[in-house]
Amino acid sequence: MAPVREQAVVTGLGVAAAKIDRAADLLAALDDGHEPRDFDPASRRGERQSRYHDTATLMALGAATEALEEAPRAGDDPGEAAGVVVSSNLGNLDTVCRVVEVLRRGSAEALSPMDLPKASSNVIASTLAIRFDCRGVNLTVCNGASSGTDALYLAAVAVRAGRARRVLVVGVEAAHPPARRLLEAAGGGDGKRKARLVGGAAAVIIEAASSASSRGARTYAQIDAYAHDKGASPVAGSIDAALRRAGRRRPGLWIAPEEDGSSADIEGSALPLDGARPPRVLDLSGRFGLLYGALGVFQCVAASLWLQGRAAAANEQTAVLTSGSRREGASSLVMRGGGNGPAQREPE
């Protein structure tokens, strides 16, 4: 008999972005007509709480705080059962560039002691772990445009494998000058990759379904199947593989990557239309600007909110998130409504 596998469900959401006061406003913000704007995290956390933290870490703290307030840990939940996975490709690049410039002009004695710890690529994840007493698995994913979706998958794997009872997943990119210069230099002819980077963070709590059920927590959605593809058509390939692993459900929602966000791309995306009404398509970068490593987690927040209010029809209870690029490969994640439920058995 196949082993029992724990379900991984989404129980908390958080967003730190311009013109959004809380995560529940994310879908409405897509239709408000506002142009992408930079987000100042100090405006939400205050000057005192912002001291000694870089911009990306501040945004991550803001989004994580909201998600954890919605899905607080039980009093008897040990820190070892809580993990952190962060997706950020360029988060502390400003600190690294500043340290290198100081060394180039002078010596190590000229460095600020407050800058040295922040030069680590894992500074965001480690800061979150210390602040929220998460002593379990701790990862930073920084493998390019698909990293946000990949981070969600790794968190779900940790929950299903029993390595963590819950995982805080944060996607964050800061719009500091070094990050913008690097993306502009690397953008080439990738279409929407020329869009302006706008800082922001999104957070979700991915939790074992049994843990959420035992404390009566609301679950937005369940994390289902995942696939990554680096072939000639990575977007289509990852979608096709993820849907096959999920039982080939026809989705009601597709949240597109930053290069393939128009509804005209559906026909070539491998979404199983079957001659039926095509799924709704969301393009978050049109409202928020280039999100890069944070995109996948923003997509998860949007899909969770969308799935929460869906009808019982099977196609309206399934969403597909896709992030990545033709050059770097793409990842797709299938999410479905009805997160509460018994543990599933692995297919034999």
Residues 6+ apart with CB under 8 A from 232: none
Q: Between vectors from CA 85 to CA 82 and to CA 86, what angle results, nearest 5°?
A: 140
Q: Residue 317 in contact with residue 111, Cβ under 8 Å? A: no
pLDDT band (50, 70, 90) for residue 44: low
Would you state the pLDDT for residue 271? Answer: 67
- pLDDT computed for residue 127 by the predictor: 94
Q: Which of 195, 214, 233 corresponds to the end of one domain?
A: 214
Domain of 61 in residue numbering reads as 4-214
pLDDT band at residue 227 using 50, 70 and 90 as cut-offs: very high
- CA-to-CA distance for 275 and 288, rounded, in angstroms? 32
pLDDT of residue 223: 96
- The verdict on 189 and 233 lying in the same domain is no
Is the domain of 210 the same as that of 228?
no
Query: What CA–CA distance (Å, rounded) separates 324 from 259?
Result: 8
Query: What pLDDT, on the 0 to 100 scale, is given for residue 233?
Result: 87
Residues 141 and 158 reside in one and the same domain: yes
Q: CB of 256 within 8 A of CB of 303?
A: no
Stated pTM of the model? 0.88
- State the pLDDT confidence band at 229, using cuts at 50, 70 and 90: very high
Give yes or no for residue 193 having a pLDDT over 50.
Answer: no
Instruction: Give the pLDDT confidence score for residue 316 in this predicted structure.
Output: 64
- DSSP designation for 273: -
Q: Could you tell me if 238 and 316 lie in one domain?
A: yes
Q: Report phi then psi at 265, rounded to 5.
A: -80, -5
Tell me the sheet residues that pair with 138.
84
Mean pLDDT calculated for residue range 3-21: 87
**Is 76 part of any domain?**
yes
Q: Of 265 and 170, which is predicted with more confidence?
A: 170
**Cα 6-11-227 angle, rounded to 5 deg:** 55
Confidence of residue 4 (pLDDT cuts 50, 70, 90): low
Mean pLDDT of the chain: 82
On whether residue 24 sits in a domain, the answer given is: yes
- Highest mean pLDDT among 89-98, 291-300, 306-315, 330-339 belongs to 291-300
Q: Are residues 255 and 334 located together in one domain of the fold? A: yes
Confidence of residue 45 (pLDDT cuts 50, 70, 90): low
Any domain includes 347: no
From 184, 214, 244, give the residue that closes a domain.
Answer: 214
Between 10-14, 224-228, 338-342, the lowest mean confidence (pLDDT) is in 338-342
Q: Is residue 88 part of a domain?
A: yes
Average pLDDT over residues 135-154: 96
Whether the predicted pLDDT of 3 surpasses 70: no
How many Cβ atoms from other residues are within 10 Å of residue 252's Cβ? 23
Instruction: Give every CB contact of residue 313 below 8 A, 6+ residues apart in sequence.
Output: 252
Mean pLDDT computed over 193-209: 85
Q: Indicate if 201 and 65 belong to the same structural domain.
A: yes
Task: Write down the residue that tokens 């959605």 correspond to.
Answer: 221
| Maximal C-alpha separation, the chain | 67
Strand partners, 192: none
Same domain, 49 and 180: yes
Chain centre to alpha carbon of residue 132: 19
pLDDT for 91 beyond 90: no
Is the domain of 152 the same as that of 278?
no
Confidence of residue 207 (pLDDT cuts 50, 70, 90): very high
328 plus 181 within the same structural domain: no
Per-residue confidence (pLDDT) for residue 275, from 0 to 100: 56
**Predicted local confidence at residue 176, as pLDDT:** 84
At 49, the amino acid letter reads Q
Q: 277 is written with which tokens?
A: 């009404």
Determine the pLDDT at residue 43: 62
Residue 247 has pLDDT above 70, yes or no: yes
What is the model's pLDDT at position 261? Answer: 44
DSSP state of 79: G
Band the pLDDT of 262: cuts 50, 70, 90: very low
Give the list of residues 6+ apart from residue 308 with CB closer than 8 angstroms, or none.
Answer: 220, 221, 337
Q: Does residue 152 share a domain with residue 132?
A: yes
In this structure, is residue 135 part of a structural domain?
Answer: yes
Q: What is the pLDDT of residue 31?
A: 81
Using the 3D structure, point to which of 214, 240, 270 is the last residue of a domain.
Answer: 214
> How does residue 195 score in pLDDT terms, banded at 50, 70 and 90?
low
- Confidence at 270, pLDDT banded by 50, 70, 90: low
Query: How deeply is 337 buried, as exposed, middle or buried, from its count of CB atoms within 10 A (0-12, 13-18, 19+)?
Result: buried
The phi and psi torsions of 167 (rounded to 5 degrees) equal: -135, 130
Least confident of 69-73, 86-90, 275-279, 335-339: 275-279
Q: How many domains does the chain have?
A: 2
Mean pLDDT across the stretch 132-137? 94
173: tokens are: 């990119």
For residue 317, pLDDT beyond 60: yes
Residue 189 lies in a domain: yes
Assess whether 178 and 285 both reside in one domain.
no
Rounded distance, CA 312 to CA 72, Å?
29
In a domain, 345, yes or no: no
- The CATH number for 140's domain is 3.40.47.10
Question: What is the C-alpha separation between 13 and 63, in angstroms, rounded?
Answer: 8
Strand order in the sheet with 253-255: 138-141, 82-87, 166-173, 200-208, 8-16, 221-229, 329-336, 318-325, 253-255, 280-282
Q: Which residues fall within 8 angstroms of residue 98, CB to CB, at 6 or more apart?
A: 115
Q: Following CA atoms 202, 208, 212, 215 in sequence, which dihedral angle do they give, to the nearest 10 degrees?
A: -130
Same domain? For 154 and 48 the reply is yes
User: For the segment 324-345, what is each residue's pLDDT rounded down to a tens digit?
Assistant: 988 889 999 999 986 443 333 3
Residue 348 lies in a domain: no
